[in-house]
Amino acid sequence: MTWARGGILALAATLAAALPLAAEVRALDILGREVVLPAPASRIVLGEGRHMAVLGLMHDDPVAKVVGWRLDKAMDPPTLQAYRAKFPQIGAIKPVGSGNRDLSVEAVIALDPDLLVLSLMDAKDPGMEQARSQVEAAGIPVVYVDFFSHPQENSLPSLQILGALTGGEAKAAEFAALYTERLERITSRLSDPSITRPDVFFHVHAAPKGCCSTVGQGVFHDFITTAGGHNIGNTAVGGVLGNVSLEFLLGADPDIYVATGGAHMAARGGLVLGSGITPGEAELSFAALLKAPGFSALSAVESGRAAGVWHLFNDSPVHIALIEYLAKLFHPDLFADVDPEATLREIEARFSPVTVPGTWWVRAHD
């Protein structure tokens, strides 16, 4: 060996010793558990299929990173169709569970993933806790995120957790900046305690029969409160969701009535709204709902202060556009310059790898 060659090898060994052994990534999940990966995750199993769209906010090709998903809380069909059209390999993703909170530990382990993503709802389920323990015992890291139970508190931290663990930190930070700017615009304008907060009734999965399911705590309640409304369901039902009678609704006669719906409500003759729905379809279904016995007598309907919104805003950080819409509905003069449609277009243009047509909200006409 010549001196020059020996010197080069010695220098290379010195440099190698000075470098970290791996591009290790760390994050504290939404439960405060430390998750450590040797490198950004590239073989992910999703506990909720619709969180593919959350990965899509950070990655141009999120499908390439996912090897398995639980079919519970799957992507809605039009969104799945848009992903399949652009990423045909989505068909290769393996199911690892089908029913509510059902997870096959064997199916997860067989896929040899480097990360399993579970939700805060899973952490409250004893069966899922056992599954999580078995998966971790097999050497597979598990991370908990939350875009549903406490969306305003946990969505951005959860997005940034996934960003850190999948190499999407830059886009996660970019989305967080947009979200924070839009949210602060709303909260700052509503900071005056003299502003009157209208009484709001949220009718979830709205249909003319079987009235009425509404929200008590978390999820949509947080959106109502942040947008400057008073959720009358908060004292009427004990948990996140509950039922009240039509007589209760008529007696309360809220200032504003908001229904949530989706394509899934067509079978019940309810509010049809969301991805893949045309404005005409949404308007017809909303008009039929408001003409039903009882609903037509509400002051909010008579005065044109009734609206319908897509229910599936409830499990994605894109809900910032819904908060804008509600703020504008509750306080039209205060938020005359706010354009939630433009916010959705900007999010789609800057962050989403696919375009999904649909109708996201609808208004009554006085």
- List domains and CATH numbers for the chain: 13-183 (3.40.50.1980), 197-363 (3.40.50.1980)
The distance between the two most distant Cα atoms of the chain, rounded to a whole number of Å, is 96
Residues lower than pLDDT 70 in the chain: 1-22, 99-100, 366
Q: How many CB atoms lie within 10 A of CB 26?
A: 10
Q: What is the DSSP string of 315-362?
A: GSGGGHHHHHHHHHHH-TTTTTT--HHHHHHHHHHHT-SS---EE-EE
Closest CA to 308 of 157, 232, 171, 207: 207
What pLDDT is recorded for position 13? 40
Compute the CA torsion angle 315, 320, 321, 326 (nearest 10 deg). Answer: 100
CB proximity list for 350: less than 8 A, separation 6 or greater: 174, 178
334: left (phi over 0), alpha (psi -120 to 50) or beta: alpha
Residues in the chain: 366
On whether the CB atoms of residues 64 and 41 are closer than 8 A, the answer is no
CB proximity list for 192: less than 8 A, separation 6 or greater: none
Closest CA to 362 of 284, 296, 282, 266: 282
What pLDDT is recorded for position 168? 97
Which three-class secondary structure state does DSSP give residue 71?
A: coil
Residue 167 — φ and ψ, nearest 5°? 80, 20
> Pairing relation of β-strands 44-46 and 213-215?
unpaired
Q: Does the reported pTM lie above 0.95? A: no
Residue type, 233: G
**Residue 308: beta bridge partners?**
259, 362
Which three-class secondary structure state does DSSP give residue 92?
A: helix
**Residue 257: beta bridge partners?**
201, 306
CB proximity list for 64: less than 8 A, separation 6 or greater: 42, 87, 89
The encoded tokens of residue 313 equal: 């805003």
On whether the CB atoms of residues 195 and 187 are closer than 8 A, the answer is no
CB proximity list for 147: less than 8 A, separation 6 or greater: 51, 54, 119, 154, 155, 158, 315, 316, 317
The encoded tokens of residue 321 equal: 């556009």
Residue type, 64: A
What pLDDT is recorded for position 18? 41
The encoded tokens of residue 274 equal: 């969301």
Which three-class secondary structure state does DSSP give residue 283?
A: helix
Which three-class secondary structure state does DSSP give residue 45?
A: strand
The encoded tokens of residue 215 equal: 């929200």
Secondary structure letter of residue 35 according to DSSP:
E
pLDDT tens profile 137-169: 999 999 999 998 889 999 999 999 999 999 999
